[in-house]
Structure 1
Amino acid sequence: MERRTFIKTASVAAAASAVAAPAIAQTAPEVKWRLTSSFPKSLDTIYGAAEIFSKAVAEMTDNKFQIQVFAAGEIVPGLQAMQAVRDGTVEACHTASYYYVGIDPTFAFGTAVPFGLNSRMQDAWQFQGGGMELMNAFYAKHNIHAIPAGNTGCQMGGWFRKEIKTVADLNGLKMRIGGFAGRALQKLGVVPQQVAGGDIYPSLEKGTIDAAEWVGPYDDQKLGFNKVAPFYYYPGWWEGGAMLHNMFNVAKYNALPSSYKAILLNASHHANTWMQARYDAQNPAALRQLVAAGTQLRPFSLEVLEACLKAANEVNAETAAQNADFKKVLDSTMAFRGEQYLWWQVAEYTFDTFMIRARARG
């Protein structure tokens, strides 16, 4: 190559490089967000998922996109996290969608509805069954965009001061219960109470409430519910697979480059898997310890479950008749549940049932 040609080529390359550098820089801007959690730091799994998410975002962007996580109460109370994002007080939150059914009952489907989907079905509906698109079309009306970011798995039915042997035992019971399930239980005489996680223990201890549900053995043991209520019931039929979400202010989310949006999606996926895995790993030992310490483990009777299912179906029908968004998502969820159980009963249920019986036989 002649010297003159080489110099000319090198000059063109250098010029192209100089032009390209700002474009590359623009695709990876410095971004700092705040995320408010609905949960206290003491609950290291349900709160911890937000920190896992934030850490992943920072690592995938060489710390150019930083999301600072705040516990419930540090910026806003836990049950006001979504509103803080909606109103632009913070850019993001990690929360349970069903905390906001008082604003619109359709919020329930983002987390769980009574006798709804288990955790794997939730993932399948959200990511492969159109659920995420349906929910984000609804969330957009409230100025938020949401991505699944955690699941507790099937929860326990809660802690009770007295035994629940029949449906009549529910009448007049003051119970802390989140989301949409309280409306079904109201039909059976329960007086539902919306109480944030950190306030449940003192409410039980003082007798302000007679019963409370939270998540499962690992968290419940941390919160000390066994010290103030002896009876521990299962299953939590209102939360067969309670999903958590990262919610983002729409304007802030839309302003991000596409690469950062992809990172939010994949970091949320990571948190989603991490939370479920951690609860599954921690719950067995916690349940053993609770029972060894005197907790009275009880299943809800078939009579109680059947009555609760009937009440839940009535509430669904009544709500769907008055709320088009709710009806649209309900129809999608219930159709998906039917197809899932068609498959579930063939392999999953059969395998699990056999292995549970084999374990019992030793």
Structure 2
Amino acid sequence: MDRRSIIKHAGIAGVLAAGAAPAVHAQAAVRWRLASSFPKSLDTIFGSAETLSRTVKAMSGGKFEISVHPAGELMPAFGVVDALQSDTIEMAQSAAYYFTGKDPAFAFSCAVPFGLTARQNTSWKKYGNGGKLLDAFFEKYNFRTASAGNTGTQMGGWYRKEIKTVADLKGLKMRMGGGVFGEAMAKLGVVAQNMPAGDVYQALEKGTLDAAEFVGPYDDAKLGFNKVAPFYYYPGWWEGGADLEFFVNNKKFAALSDENKAILNAAMAVAATDMTAKYDAYNPIALKKLVAEKTKLTAFPKAVIDAGFKACMEVYEEHNAKSPEFKKIYEDMRAFQRDQILWNRFSEYPYNQYMNGVKI
């Protein structure tokens, strides 16, 4: 009797007993959906999610696939945490500080003003207490996080008018990531607006916004901010190293086989490294092009940064007094940062200082 006759006359039980269909024991295909908070036009950030998807598919031989959806396709850009909590999606890609309205401590997973650089952030999460503290914090929201890539230190944003003194900030309507930064800037008279990247250009063009910060030259040029706001300031002291992240639903992750868990973790690491490398490669080229197109590149006056520092420290004190959880994460991050700053005095800082002063 041939194989088709066995299946027809014996049924699946007979097939299993006869050992005629070993393929039925193969691992079932896994199909996930990832909702991003970013538009598809950002090949750096959104591209990280696409790299993840390609890598997972390749490593699993097509048995594990993740479809990637830009902001607005499955849900609004800022709807991803609620979707993870309700088990609507398996994964998201976002910036944790977009959700400080739920809890200010969200910001520590991405960036806080006068916080960690990209390398320091990675080190704190992997070999300090950062990862453990943040995993425990996010447990209540039904997801875990992994880096999708770090932007490095960001720019200070685009302004329709010059910022010469702290007084120039008063009444300024500015798009910013939110959280501690927004609260600190409010102390300086800024009206903070948290909106998806894809909506910012039109708001600047119409005058609904007076200023906007996003990431850096490459992304900012793609979004066209230089066409509607001529003054480009640096540095972005509120984002010394912003970690974009993959948010993974805890229940869905637990249901994966050990093999697929390993594939997902490895693919996220590949995507994160790729994104950071893209920023380091593309930002210098984009900055030169922006300057050639008459962008007015200017450093923030020290008095403005000093005022920002003072306001941020006040906000941190306020949150530390209200939330033991916030205080625990904050104090651990600062202790780690102090050691990093000490080491930097003898390593990258003097090296970079010298290299900035010589012709190569």
Same-fold status (TM-score > 0.5): yes
Is contact 1:160-1:229 (8 Å) kept? yes
Is contact 1:132-1:147 (8 Å) kept? no
In structure 2, the residue matched to 1:92 is 91
Question: Partners of 2:165 and 2:205 in 1: how far apart?
Answer: 24
Deviation at 1:146, TM superposition (A): 1.2
AA aligned opposite 2:344 = W
Question: Partners of 1:56 and 1:130 in 2: how far apart?
Answer: 29
AA aligned opposite 1:35 = L
In structure 1, the residue matched to 2:9 is none
Identity in percent: 52
Equivalent positions of 1:1-362 (< 5 A) are: 25=26, 28-180=27-179, 181-359=181-359
Deviations 1:99-143 (A, max 9, x none): 100000110011000000000001101111121111111111111
AA aligned opposite 1:193 = Q
- For residues 69 and 171 of structure 1, do their structure 2 counterparts lie closer, same or farther at Cα, with a shift above 3 Å needed? same
- Normalising by the residue count of structure 2, what TM-score does the alignment of the two structures yield? 0.92
- For residues 345 and 195 of structure 1, do their structure 2 counterparts lie closer, same or farther at Cα, with a shift above 3 Å needed? same
AA aligned opposite 2:66 = I
Deviation at 1:48, TM superposition (A): 0.3
- Normalising by the residue count of structure 1, what TM-score does the alignment of the two structures yield? 0.91
Q: Secondary structure at the match of 2:357?
A: helix
Is contact 1:82-1:95 (8 Å) kept? no
Deviations 1:140-186 (A, max 9, x none): 11111111121111110000011111111111111000032111101
Deviation at 1:63, TM superposition (A): 1.0
Q: Secondary structure at the match of 1:165?
A: coil
Deviations 1:180-207 (A, max 9, x none): 2111101111100011100000000000
Question: Partners of 1:23 and 1:279 in 2: how far apart?
Answer: 45
Question: Partners of 2:97 and 2:24 in 1: how far apart?
Answer: 42
AA aligned opposite 1:271 = A
- For residues 335 and 24 of structure 1, do their structure 2 counterparts lie closer, same or farther at Cα, with a shift above 3 Å needed? farther
AA aligned opposite 1:165 = K
Is contact 1:226-1:290 (8 Å) kept? yes
Question: Partners of 2:24 and 2:351 in 1: how far apart?
Answer: 54
Question: Partners of 1:258 and 1:315 in 2: how far apart?
Answer: 43
Deviation at 1:259, TM superposition (A): 2.1
Deviation at 1:333, TM superposition (A): 0.8
Q: Secondary structure at the match of 2:215?
A: coil
Question: Partners of 2:220 and 2:253 in 1: how far apart?
Answer: 35
Q: Unaligned regions of 5+ residues in structure 1, if any?
A: 1-17
Q: Unaligned regions of 5+ residues in structure 2, if any?
A: 1-18
Deviation at 1:340, TM superposition (A): 0.4
AA aligned opposite 2:236 = G
Deviation at 1:37, TM superposition (A): 0.6
Deviation at 1:328, TM superposition (A): 1.2
